[in-house]
A and B are shown apart, each in its own frame.
Chain A
Amino acid sequence: MSYQAKFRVWRGDAGEGELVDYTVEVNEGEVVLDVIHRLQATQAPDLAVRWNCKAGKCGSCSAEINGMPRLMCMTRMSTFAEDEVVTVTPIRTFPVIRDLVTDVSFNYEKARQIPAFDPGDAKPGELRMMQEDVQRSQEFRKCIECFLCNNVCHVIRDHEENKPAFAGPRFLMRIAELEMHPADRSDRRNIAQEDHGLGFCNITKCCTEVCPEHIKITDNALIPLKERVVGRRYDPLVWLGAKLGIVKKSEDTPSA
């Protein structure tokens, strides 16, 4: 049942490094993270890898396996042929700390710039929301923050210089979540475009493709947000209506 698999793992720090070849035992039913752990226990005790729950719920063990962004704990070895070389590299968009561990602080910085939930004057316990009103945002709240979407998005993956102006699918989805939150009183449409780079998105859907939670990021968050932004900024009829005073414009919430 067990066999010797060929692994190529990126080892190094501060950007410098290389793919190192290993031959390592693989047993039935294992996932890539198991094999990485076996490497740690037997051949490379200081091989750095970030992981927590090993059940696809915490989003820590993001990496690129044979070039595709994935969670190591959710990639079964049975999806590879026994003679196939399995290449594991750190997620590419963020600076590497060591081996497979990257510095994802970009994401936490972006998270801070999105204005928080704003319940207005409602008091705790007073909120009444219907299931159909919360379910859209609930889908986005399934996000486990593995940041694979932000990693795969070519806007920053291939263009480091766009990082300051682009929050990435994860945090544009956060804006969408708040915009669709039935009890939220802020209007983040303008900053979604202006500060967080929604206009960079060319809806090529890679974020949706790699999402381990199968959230329809593009169809349910980014495109609806784009449509809302059109209503706020680009729709000539809305613009005309606002000029004539027929359409009431809400106040834009600035970034935090």
Chain B
Amino acid sequence: MSTVEAPTKKRAQITAKTLRTDNWLNYPIFIVVLFTAWVGYATFRSLMGKYYWVEEYNYLTPFYSPCVSSECVEGSAHFGTFLPELPFFIPLAAVSLPFLLLFRLTCYYYRKAYYRGYWASPPACAVREPHKKYTGERRFPLIGQNLHRYFWAAAVVVSLINTYDALLAFTDADGGFRMGLGSLILLGNVILLWGYTLSCHSCRHIVGGRLKSFSKHPIRYRAWTLVSRLNERHGQYALITLGSLVVADLYVALVSGGVISDPRII
């Protein structure tokens, strides 16, 4: 070693976990509370196995869509009942909900949120994390996060189905147009779901991000530009749709259970 080089140095020894003086705990707490409450609600509702369909107005909650098992309530199975009756330990919603959840579980925004909120890895920027070791997303099971694009594809299918459901909520038995508050709620939810699905980072990659040259693919460039603009709000869509899903589901449940009646508009 040459003499002008300094001896081996260490980091500044600062024992404090963080010297931040702002309310950095707010975000992880908010995330944990919100996600836990949502998962609780979703679990409760999917185990319920009822109040997911309003026959009178064609309202199907997104939690149970598509309903394809033979135990589905009459009328709610728009795509046939090609699955037999599920054993008692598998809730009815288990057919549709996993796709919804896996898409969100591997979503780049949700990953940030739950890594910070639940895993404290890190709890906030420049706050020391409690773990001794860290290996990131390089091993099983987290390496599975790389399959996000496939769950995105599934989510597109689910969104299409939800769109179909929402449109049905605007039609009567004869195919005529009608509208209630519930149809609007279902429609709003679907629009937000599309916002979330199309703003996905994998979607952005697939529609054009993977290209080296945009100028040779003007249409994909335009699509990419559009998705990029949506993508800036991906995190907001991710949170808003949690709310809109609950609102849509709760509304259907309440109407279905006869707790409230659906105000008709047309």
Contact = CB atoms under 8 A, between A and B. Distances in A.
On whether A and B touch (CB less than 8 Å), the answer reads yes
A254 interface: no
B9 A200 contact: no
Contact of A202 (B7, B125, B136, B149): B136
Interface string B245-256: 000000000000
Interface residues of A, number: 61
Contacts of B221: 132
Contact of B125 (A68, A223, A234): A68
Nearest to B18: A67
Tell me the interface secondary structure of chain B in the complex. loop
A129 B11 CA distance: 44
Contacts, number: 159
Contacts of A157: 122, 126, 128
Nearest to B19: A67
Interface in A16-32: 16-17
A10 B12 contact: yes
A97 B214 CA distance: 46
B14 A10 contact: yes
Interface string A201-234: 1111110011000000001000110111111011
Given A204-B121, A209-B125, A223 B21 contact: no
B121 A202 contact: yes
Contacts of A230: 146, 148-149
A227 B149 contact: yes
A158 interface: yes
A201 B126 contact: no
A149 to B, nearest CB: 10
Nearest to B119: A202
A34 B136 CA distance: 39
Interface range on chain B (Cβ under 8 Å from partner)? 35 or more
A121 to B, nearest CB: 17
Contacts of A219: 201, 231-232
Contacts of B231: 219
A92 B11 contact: yes
Contact of A201 (B7, B137, B201): B137
Interface string A48-86: 000000000000000010111100000000000000100
Nearest to A12: B12
A123 interface: no
A106 to B, nearest CB: 11
Contact of B201 (A162, A180, A209, A227): A227
B128 A158 contact: yes
B20 A93 contact: no
Contacts of A150: none
B209 interface: yes
Contact of A14 (B9, B108, B126, B213): B9
Interface of A: 10, 12-17, 64, 66-69, 84, 87, 89-90, 92-97, 102-103, 130, 132-133, 152, 154-155, 157-160, 162, 179-180, 182, 197, 199-206, 209-210, 219, 223-224, 226-231, 233-235
Interface of B: 6-14, 18-22, 108, 111-112, 115-116, 121-122, 125-129, 131, 133-138, 142-143, 146-149, 201-202, 204-205, 209-210, 212-215, 221, 231-232
